[in-house]
Structure 1
């Protein structure tokens, strides 16, 4: 985990409104080196709006967003990608008729330094650079265990494998920060467990910090280092998974006041039972 002051990303007091609707209302957090940071909240809580601010789709009315000390505000998505931010999407955004290798090669576009005519000639620098990019893509194929599908059109692949290919395309960009938008949405248990393993490998082996938006609370609580909970665009709590699970404001945001009352009642009953046990043993 990173030391204080070594944040990769700074997201400070960000406000984003659409008319009277406050999509992001004073949200702030940092992400450190090698950290897996999760953003959770009920539907409509503002999670996707936060991602859209980070990737340059939305420009907030107030706040600061910095990646390795460089402000992202006012920059368009391609410029932010060149600074080292990559993103996967909840809905798969692949070219179904292209092979796995070709889809991964698309992630190398910002690293290509030759032009159209050099590519057509296919000699010298263009050829050498293309081979270098293909070697990098093959490394990602090995890392994500995609060997058996590498030359198949992605449209023919199982859903879970397509999600893995999209993750691989983001890795092909060589990001300094990776945004994961519901990486296990629609997956079965086995696919979810596989994806969780790859995400942890990205953090531990590739040492790429990540921000993950996800509705699967079991996954988040198992693998995230820290969690931010938002509700109606407003930050509710930030902390370790254990800390946010015990936070009464988080319980209220997810389950409502009745559930919070039930938790408090259960705690009171447990306390009463412990006192009764002490009295009987006295």
Structure 2
């Protein structure tokens, strides 16, 4: 438990403080406490996994981090800037992107256009200039489309560039969801069950793309996932929740073998 508030080791030899610092995060809905004093840090370039049984509070943590929920108590700081009270769009502008378990793609738009939506908060020209598509607006769109093509190449999505998202195979659609988030050029990427519903081959592919994106883009990531094999393979550190409380934190091996985590998942003592 004492590891929960301890600073995370900086990734890739960086000596700076944590990119994200969460302390005493408490969220209530009426008489129900979804999160109770949750705290953790994420270092630059680190991958932190948040695990726990259904109803443990994992999604509530994400919803607080990207401004969907406003906690009653606690602090959330990204690079020293408070995220509490900011709108989701403002938090995205500070460098937080999120994927969704149930996909956040627009089915009628092509894969390229879905990824371009991830660039929206980076665009500076107005609506009328964009409609006219001339001058600065034209140059800006060309630049953003080039950035999207880099993401498409990174995730090997070239064959599906013009395919409507609603027609993509499920595994490819999950990859496109990741691509939309990467197109936002985040500092912190929130991954909400990125391999949910995937078969073994698709899961292995997604793990490879996450490793590659992390290595090439230098991203910090928070992974919420039920696939413990994926968590053990990818995470630098793990935080385990149960009923909105942190019950263990440490390396993947330490958390996996913690009796409180075993009990939370299996309903029996170790």
Q: Give the secondary-structure state (helix, strand or coil) at the position aligned to 2:138.
A: helix
CA positional deviation for 1:76:
0.9
CA positional deviation for 1:95:
1.0
For 2:243, the equivalent position in structure 1 comes to 232
Structure 2, gaps ≥5 residues long: 1-8
CA positional deviation for 1:120:
2.1
Give CA deviations for 1:166-207 in whole Å, capped at 9, x if unaligned. 100001110010000000000010100000011111221211
CA positional deviation for 1:4:
6.6
For 1:38, the equivalent position in structure 2 comes to 49
TM-score (norm 1): 0.90
Matched, 1:169 2:180: yes
For 1:88, the equivalent position in structure 2 comes to 99
Structure 1, gaps ≥5 residues long: 264-282
Matched, 1:68 2:79: yes
Report the structure, 1 or 2, having the larger helix content: 1
Query: Aligned in 2, Cα 1:5/1:29: closer, same or farther, shift over 3 Å?
Result: farther
For 2:195, the equivalent position in structure 1 comes to 184
Matched, 1:107 2:118: yes
RMSD, aligned CA? 1.1
Distance in 2, Cα, partners of 1:38 & 1:195: 16
Give CA deviations for 1:127-181 in whole Å, capped at 9, x if unaligned. 1111000000000000000001101111111000000001000011100100000
Aligned with residue 27 of structure 2, among 3, 16, 19: 16
For 1:55, the equivalent position in structure 2 comes to 66
Distance in 1, Cα, partners of 2:151 & 2:123: 17
Matched, 1:140 2:151: yes
Structure 1 runs of 4+ aligned residues shifted over 3 Å read: none
CA positional deviation for 1:6:
1.3
Higher gyration radius (CA) = 1
Distance in 1, Cα, partners of 2:28 & 2:129: 46
Distance in 2, Cα, partners of 1:194 & 1:213: 18
